[in-house]
Amino acid sequence: MSSLRDATLRKIATIGPRYLPFADVASEAVPLSRLLRLSLFQVTVGMALVLLVGTLNRVMIVELGVPASLVGLMIALPLVFAPFRAFIGYRSDIHKSALGWRRVPYIWKGTMLQFGGFAIMPFALLVLSGYDQAADAAPWIGQGAAALAFLLVGAGVHMVQTVGLALATDLVEVEEQPKVVGLMYVMLLLGMIGSALIFGWILRDYTPGRLVQVVQGAAVVTVALNLVALWKQEPRDRARASRVETQPEFRDAWRLFVKGRTALGLLMVIALGTMGFGMADVLLEPYGGQVLNLSVAMTTQLTAVLAAGGLIGFAIASKVLLDGANPLDVAWFGTLIGVPAFGLIIAAGPLGLAPVFVIGTGLAGLGAGLFGHGTLTATMRSAPRAQVGLALGAWGAVQATAAGIAVALGGVIRDLILRLPGAESFRAEAPYTPVFTLELALLVMALWAIWLVRRKQARLFQTTRYTQPQDGPDPDVVTHDPTPLTRRPTGEEPHDHGRLTAL
């Protein structure tokens, strides 16, 4: 056994370095083509989201006849892992490996989880629906297997996205970050739209065999795309592997992360804005159909309008941020656009004007695009280089949790109003207007929160400007980044690299 192991090790050690997935030494500028390749991991994330929330949602209810409440529960399961994103990001920050990698091992593990979940998912769903002789099996087998499959995929998605974004942030300079954020959002959106179309087209004629092919095909595509995305991306830092330093516990790292900065305020803004923009995502189509009497084909195009608005928002945000705008100002304008957008959507129902509704939807997409881009860029900029994983984990945890809660809450509010006594006599828009109004209120609160954060930022900038030159250079930064500290743009908040070592 051990001789076999030795032989394998020797074999691996003699493979040419050209065929190993290591990047060259940290290069000065990462070309766009390489960033584009890295952003492929967002395509797999988008594919997984569409498959879980869209395609399988429908297949389980319509074709497999699984009770809608059980389907809702299964789809909500991955949300359980969302708060752990902060912890995953922190773990990747302090990860030690002989190869000098921090991000690649986690993205790889996340990919394996996603793959494993998709590999067993179709069979789990077939057993869950009592296909063929599974009807005689104990119900816990199907339920347990389906829950496990959804949990695996969810955990994998959270892991891949968190650490993938951290790797992207590692690779580029601060002034280049808006480009990366735009790229990541666009690829996520393209992945979602593309896979929704492809899955819809392949599953036109549903058969159990087709379901297995589609879901397991998604598993293979996930591994393939993530391998391509990861190849030769992360520079190795062998010095890190041999350096002996005590790493802070998660609690200490977190305290360091929020202390004396606007990190918590920013997370608050993200939570409010994400809920404000996200609550209507699943309600826009039924609203258009039931209140404005749009046809199914037209309501499906609403999603396209929303996505187009988002794409325009990302493009504008990338442009102005690369020109040096403050990311929080971009988020502020996005939220500001969201307020009249939902005003138009609310007004369109009683007025019966479909064009007003479409314009409102497009504006909501535009506002959400600006807001998402602005807040993610702000997160990247405010993170000290040694805590990038933790910062993006916290962003992802808040963003995913808020989005999940918002969608669930929107549905629950509508259903509760529909169940009120005398609901039959209500106007058609009655179940929807309160949800849209709540979104308006959340967006106004987000505007207020952004204003508070901006004020605090200005104050912090005032007080730290004079103390910064005294900070000693951080050895960690030197290995990452050959440019001298003084030449690196500091963003709105001081990049206090010395923080971790000062602990």
Nearer to other proteins, 129 or 274 (CB): 129
Beta strands in 64-183 (DSSP E): none
Amino acid at 490: T
Assess 209 for contact with other proteins (CB under 8 A).
no
Amino acid at 443: L
Q: Which stretch binds other proteins (CB under 8 A): 135-143, 278-286, 451-459, 494-502?
A: 135-143
Nearer to other proteins, 120 or 370 (CB): 120
Nearer to other proteins, 105 or 411 (CB): 105
Distance, CA of 22 to chain centre? 26
C-alpha to C-alpha distance for 96 and 99, rounded to whole angstroms: 8
C-alpha to C-alpha distance for 104 and 111, rounded to whole angstroms: 10
| Least Cβ distance, residue 63 to other proteins (angstroms) | 15
| Least Cβ distance, residue 214 to other proteins (angstroms) | 15
Q: Beta-carbon neighbour count of residue 149 at 10 Å?
A: 26
B/e letters for 236-273, b = 16+ CB within 10 Å, e = fewer, are: bbeebeeeeeeebeeeebbebbeeebbbebbbbbbbbb
Nearer to other proteins, 120 or 328 (CB): 120
Nearer to other proteins, 20 or 502 (CB): 20
Nearer to other proteins, 123 or 287 (CB): 123
Assess 137 for contact with other proteins (CB under 8 A).
yes
Helix (H, G, I), strand (E, B) or coil at 472: coil
Assess 214 for contact with other proteins (CB under 8 A).
no
Of the candidate residues 23, 126, 345, 370, the single one contacting other proteins (CB under 8 A): 126
Assess 112 for contact with other proteins (CB under 8 A).
yes
C-alpha to C-alpha distance for 257 and 397, rounded to whole angstroms: 15
Nearer to other proteins, 16 or 421 (CB): 16
Nearer to other proteins, 119 or 171 (CB): 119
Phi, psi of 28 (to 5 degrees): -70, -55
C-alpha to C-alpha distance for 464 and 469, rounded to whole angstroms: 9
DSSP, residue by residue, 308-345: HHHHHHHHHHHHHHHTT--HHHHHHHHHHHHHHHHHHH
Q: Which stretch binds other proteins (CB under 8 A): 87-95, 136-144, 394-402, 421-429?
A: 136-144
Nearest Cα to Cα of residue 32 among 168, 236, 235, 221: 168
C-alpha to C-alpha distance for 413 and 287, rounded to whole angstroms: 14
| Least Cβ distance, residue 129 to other proteins (angstroms) | 9
| Least Cβ distance, residue 75 to other proteins (angstroms) | 20
Scanning residues 157 to 186, which ones bind other proteins (CB under 8 A)?
Answer: none
226 burial type by CB count under 10 A (0-12 exposed, 13-18 middle, 19+ buried): buried
Q: Which stretch binds other proteins (CB under 8 A): 63-71, 127-135, 279-287, 470-478?
A: 127-135
Scanning residues 7 to 26, which ones bind other proteins (CB under 8 A)?
Answer: 8-10, 12-17, 20
Q: Which stretch binds other proteins (CB under 8 A): 29-37, 129-137, 180-188, 279-287?
A: 129-137
C-alpha to C-alpha distance for 191 and 183, rounded to whole angstroms: 12
Of the candidate residues 48, 120, 366, 398, the single one contacting other proteins (CB under 8 A): 120
Scanning residues 321 to 340, which ones bind other proteins (CB under 8 A)?
Answer: none
C-alpha to C-alpha distance for 289 and 298, rounded to whole angstroms: 9
Assess 207 for contact with other proteins (CB under 8 A).
no
Helix (H, G, I), strand (E, B) or coil at 430: coil
C-alpha to C-alpha distance for 152 and 116, rounded to whole angstroms: 7
Of the candidate residues 45, 59, 127, 263, the single one contacting other proteins (CB under 8 A): 127
Assess 2 for contact with other proteins (CB under 8 A).
no
Assess 4 for contact with other proteins (CB under 8 A).
no
Long-range contacts of 65-71 (CB under 8 A, 24+ apart): 65/129, 66/125, 66/128, 66/129, 70/143
Scanning residues 225 to 264, which ones bind other proteins (CB under 8 A)?
Answer: 238
Residue with tokens 């971009």: 330
Nearer to other proteins, 105 or 340 (CB): 105
Of the candidate residues 52, 66, 88, 119, the single one contacting other proteins (CB under 8 A): 119
Q: Which stretch binds other proteins (CB under 8 A): 23-31, 53-61, 91-99, 273-281?
A: 91-99
Nearer to other proteins, 123 or 314 (CB): 123
Residue with tokens 């296909």: 131
Instruction: Note the residues at the interface with other proteins (CB under 8 A).
Output: 5, 8-10, 12-17, 20, 97-99, 105, 108, 112, 115-116, 119-120, 123-124, 126-127, 131-134, 137, 141-142, 145, 238
